[in-house]
Amino acid sequence: MDTQVKTPWAPGVQPLIESEKLQQRIAELAAQITRDYAGKDLVLVGVLKGCFLFMADLCRKIELPLRCDFLGVSSYGDETRSSGVIRITSDVSRPVLGAEVLLVEDIVDTGLTISYLLENLRARRPRTVKVCTLLDKPARRRVQVPIDYRGFTVPDRFVVGYGLDYQGLYRNLPYIGQIEG
C-alpha cells in the first residue's frame, strides 16, 4: 500500500503505518510470545473495543493453546484525548487465578488505563500479568507502566484504524492513520 494514498471514505485520515507493516510486526510479536509462554497456561485478555483486530491477528499467529477473554474499558468517550477517568464496561468471563495473563491493548497513551487494569488483574492472583500493545505513545505518558511487547512507537497524534476509532468511526481501516488537523 502506498502510504500517501488516502482511503476515499476517510478523507481526513492520513495513513501512518501500512497494513503489511502491521502484519509483519504482529507476526514477530506472536513468535516472541510463543517462545516466552511455551508450556504455560496463557490467557490473552483484550481491552475492548480497540484491540479486537490486533488481538484476532495476534492470537491466530501464536502457536500455543491459549484462552481469550476481554475487558471493556472506556476513558475517551467521543474526545480525542483521554479523560483520565477509567470505566470498566464489561469484565472477563472466567477467573484468571494462577494463569499467565497477557493484557492486549491497542494503544498505551497516558498509561492510566493500563496501570488501573494491571492493579485490577493482579488482585485476581494470576501467576503473572504482562502487557502487549500494538501502539505506544510515550509523549503522553502520565504514569509509567511496563510494556513487555510493543508493536510500534507513535508520535503524539490522534491515531485511528485497525480497531482504533474516533467517535466510533474508522475502526475498519486496514492501516493505522492519523486524523489531520
Are 107 and 163 contacting, i.e. CB atoms less than 8 angstroms apart? no
Q: In the structure grid, which three cell numbers stand for residue 95, read together?
A: 477467573
Q: Are 101 and 120 in contact (CB under 8 A)?
A: no
Q: Is the peptide bond before 49 cis (omega within 30 degrees of 0)?
A: yes
Residue 84's CB is within 10 A of a number of other CB atoms, namely 10
Cα dihedral 18→20→24→25 (10° resolution): 10
What is the secondary structure of 48-63 as a DSSP string?
Answer: ETTTHHHHHHHHHH--
- Among 109, 148, 156, 165, the active-site one is 109
Whether 109 is catalytic: yes
Residue numbers annotated as active site: 109
